[in-house]
Amino acid sequence: MNNLDSATLAAQLLGGHRHALARAITLAETGGAEARALLGAVYPHTGGALVVGVTGAPGAGKSTFVNALAQHWRAAGRTIAILAVDPSSPFSGGAILGDRIRMQPLGGDPGVFVRSMASRGRLGGIAHATDDAVALMDAAGFDVVVIETVGAGQSEVEIAATAPTTVVIETPGTGDDVQSIKAGILEIADVFVVNKADREGADSVIRNLQTMLRLAERSVSSWMPPVLPAVALRGEGIAAIAATIDQHYAYMLQGERLRVHAQARVERALALSVQELAVTRARAHGGGATWRQLVERVIARQIDPYSAADVLLDAP
Amino acid sequence: MEHKIRVLVAKPGLDGHDRGAKVIARALRDAGMEVIYTGLQQTPAMIIEAALQEDVDVIGLSILSGAHMTLLPKVSQLLREQAMDDVLVVVGGIISDADATILKRDHGVAAVYGPGASMQEIVSFIREHAGSGRVS
C-alpha cells in the first residue's frame, strides 16, 4: 500500500480498514494539505467513541493499566483503539516508544488497535497530532479510544482538555500528604486509580487523596472523583474502574457538560491551528524575505518582536 | 513537518538476549528516528501486526537463537500478504554468510549485520533505504 490520495484513504478508514487508519495517523503527524483534506473528510463521522485519557508519573503503571482495562472491555465486546504517547528527545528528535511491551496480551485481536506516538517537542503530555489521531480512530469506528500520555510530572494537564474523562494514576511511596494538595495534575482527575495497591502505603495514598478531594468546594450535583485501588498487573480492581469510567461518561452526557467540554477542546484546537497557519503564511510571505528582514531588524533592535508580528499579520 | 523515519525493533523467537536490540534502538533514537520497541518473544504474526498499526518504514529484527531461517521467511511472506512490501527489513544476529545470502536473495531481507557491525553503517543504511523495501 503506497501513497494514496486523501479521499481514498478516508473512504477506506471509514470502512474500518486498519492499514488505512495507520497510514492516516502518519499523514496527520506529518501535516500539510493532504492531512487537512483527510481530516475534513472524516470529521463529520466522529463523536461516536468514548474517549478516555490516562495519565500519571513515569513507572506508575499506565501501559499495564491500559492493557488490563482494554482486556476488560474486550471481554465485554467493546472495540478499543489505544494511542500511547512517549517523549521525543529534545536533542535528536528521536524517540523510544515502548508502551507496546506491556500490551502484548492485546496482540492478534482485530478489535484492538494500538498506536505509539512521539510527542515531537510538544509539552503538556500529549503530541501535536493527538487530537487528530483520536478523531481518526473515532471515525474508524472504535467504541473506546484510550489516550495514554507521556509519563507526567505535575503540570502535564492537556489531556483533560482532549479527553472528556481523565484517569490519573498514583502509586504508593511517592511523597507526603502535601503532594496531594498541590496544583496541577491532581486537579484534572475524574477518576483516581491508586495502582500497585498491594504495596505498603497504598491506604495512606488513598486516604490523602480522599481528604484532598473533600477539601475542594463543589456543588451537590457535581462529580466527586472516586479514588479506586488497583493491581493492574493482575487485573485487580479493573472492573470497578471500568464501571466508574462509564458512570462518569453518563454524567458528562447529562445536560450541557459534554458540549461545554467540547467547546473548550475545539477552541483550543482552533487557536493552535490558527497559530500554525499564521506562522506558516508569515514565514512564506514575500518568498520568505519579509520574515528574514524582520528577524534582522529585531536583532538590530530597530523594532521589537511584537511590532514585527503585527507587520507580518497585517501584510497583504 | 517532515516525515520521521519510524522503525519497529523486535526480537522474534525464544532467545532472551535483548541487549543488542536495546543498543540499536538507542542508536536509532539518537539518529533522530522514532523507534517502537516491542520486546521479547514475538511471533512473525505479532511483528507484522505491530508494523502495520505503527505504519513503520523499517522493521529491525534481532535473532540470536539460530532460528532465523524459519522465522524470517515467515516475516517476509506475511509482509507480502499484507501488501507491505515497501517496509525495509533489517536483521542483526549470529547468521552465517551462506544464510545471509539466501535471506537477501529469496526472503526480502535488505541487510544482515553480525557481531562487530558498525552502528554508523547501520544508521546510514536505514536512513538511505527506509521505506524502499527490498534493496537490490
For residue B97, give how far its alpha carbon lies from the nearest alpha carbon of chain A (Å): 31
Residue B1 maps to a domain: no
CB of A166 closer than 8 Å to CB of A193: no
Domain assignment present for B50: yes
Q: Do A7 and A116 share a domain, yes or no?
A: no
- pLDDT tens by residue, B84-95: 989 999 999 999
- What total of structural domains would you count in chain A? 3
Q: Report yes or no on A146 lying in a domain.
A: yes
Residues in A closer than 8 angstroms to B7, CB to CB, are none
Answer whether residue B136 is part of any domain.
Answer: no
pLDDT tens figures, A89-143 = 878 888 888 888 888 888 889 999 999 999 886 666 677 789 999 999 999 999 9
How many angstroms separate the Cα of A270 from the Cα of each of A266, A273, A277?
A: 6, 5, 10
Per-window interface: A 14-53 vs B, CB < 8 A? 18-19, 22-23, 25-26, 29-31
In a domain, A260, yes or no: no
Q: Which domain holds residue A16?
A: 1-45
pLDDT of residue A111: 95
Instruction: Please name the residue ranges forming H helices in chain A.
Output: 6-14, 18-30, 33-42, 62-75, 130-139, 158-162, 202-215, 238-253, 257-284, 289-299, 305-314
Tell me which of A208-212, A214-218, A297-301, B97-101 is least confident: A214-218
Contacts of A22 in chain B (CB under 8 A): 52-55
How far apart CA A201 and CA A292 sit, in angstroms, is: 58
Judge whether B92 lies within some domain.
yes
Whether residue A201 sits in one domain with residue A134: yes
Whether residues A198 and A168 share a domain: the answer is yes
The 10s digit of each residue's pLDDT in A213-247 is 888 777 778 899 999 999 999 999 999 999 999 99
Q: What secondary structure letter does DSSP report for A174?
A: S
Spatial distance between the Cα atoms of A246 and A304, rounded to a whole number of angstroms: 52
Higher-pLDDT residue of B12 and A243 is: A243
Domain boundary among A254, A280, A298: A254
Identity of the residue in B38, B55, B86 whose CB atom sits nearest the CB atom of A101 = B38
∠A37-B53-B89 over CA atoms, to 5°? 110
Would residue B113 count as lying in a domain? Answer: yes
One domain, residues A231 and A275: no
DSSP secondary structure string, A207-258?
A: HHHHHHHHHS---TTS----EEE-BGGGTBTHHHHHHHHHHHHHHHHSTTHH
Tell me how far apart the alpha carbons of residues A7 and A33 are, in angstroms, rounded to a whole number.
12
Q: Which residues of B touch A108 (CB under 8 A)?
A: 45-46, 49
What CATH code is carried by the domain that includes residue A246?
3.40.50.300
B97 within domain boundaries: yes
Residue B133 neighbours by CB under 8 Å, 6+ apart: B85, B86, B87, B88, B108, B110
For chain B, the domain total comes to: 1
List beta partners, residue A50: A144
Say if residue A316's pLDDT is above 80: no
pLDDT score at B136? 38
**pLDDT tops 70 at residue A151:** yes
- Main-chain dihedrals φ then ψ at residue A188, nearest 5 degrees: -100, -5
What CATH number corresponds to the domain at position B75?
Answer: 3.40.50.280
| Nearest chain B alpha carbon to A119 | B34
pLDDT digits (tens, 9 = 90+) for B27-58: 999 999 999 998 888 889 999 999 999 999 99
- Asked, for residue A204, whether it belongs to a domain, the answer is yes
Decide if A279 is inside a domain.
Answer: yes
- CA-nearest of A113, A47, A51 to A82 is A113
A4: confidence class by pLDDT, cuts 50, 70, 90 = low
Q: Residue A240 contacts by C-beta under 8 Å, 6 or more apart in sequence?
A: A228
Q: What is the per-residue pLDDT for A300?
A: 95
The residue behind cell 537463537 is B65
Check CB contact under 8 Å for B36 and A101: no
Do A248 and A291 sit in the same domain of this protein?
Answer: no
Average pLDDT, chain B: 89
Residue A261 included in any domain: no
Classify the phi-psi angles of A298: left when phi > 0, otherwise alpha if psi is within -120 to 50, otherwise beta: alpha
Q: Answer for the pair A303, A294: CB distance below 8 angstroms, yes or no.
A: yes
pLDDT digits (tens, 9 = 90+) for A49-78: 999 999 988 889 999 999 999 999 999 999
Alpha helices (runs of H) in B31-93, residue ranges in sequence order: 44-54, 68-81
Q: What is the ipTM of this complex?
A: 0.88
Residues A200, A290, single domain; the answer is no
Q: Where are the beta strands (DSSP E) in chain B?
A: 6-12, 34-42, 58-63, 88-93, 111-113
Residue B85: domain span: 6-129
Q: Are residues A30 and A63 in the same domain?
A: no
Whether A312 has a pLDDT exceeding 70, the answer reads yes
**A206 and A127 co-located in one domain:** yes
Task: Find where cell 534493496 sits.
Answer: B135
Confidence at residue A2, expressed as pLDDT on a 0 to 100 scale: 43
Domain annotation covers residue A192: yes
Q: Name the residue type at position A294.
A: L
- Residue B58 included in any domain: yes
Residues of chain A with Cβ-Cβ distance to B53 below 8 Å are 18, 22, 113-115
Which of A18, A95, A108 lies nearest to residue B46, judging by beta carbons? Answer: A108
Residue A116 lies in a domain: yes
Instruction: Say if residue A51 is in the same domain as residue A34.
Output: no
Q: How far is B82 from chain A (nearest CA, A)?
A: 8
The chain B residue lying nearest A88, using CA atoms, is B34
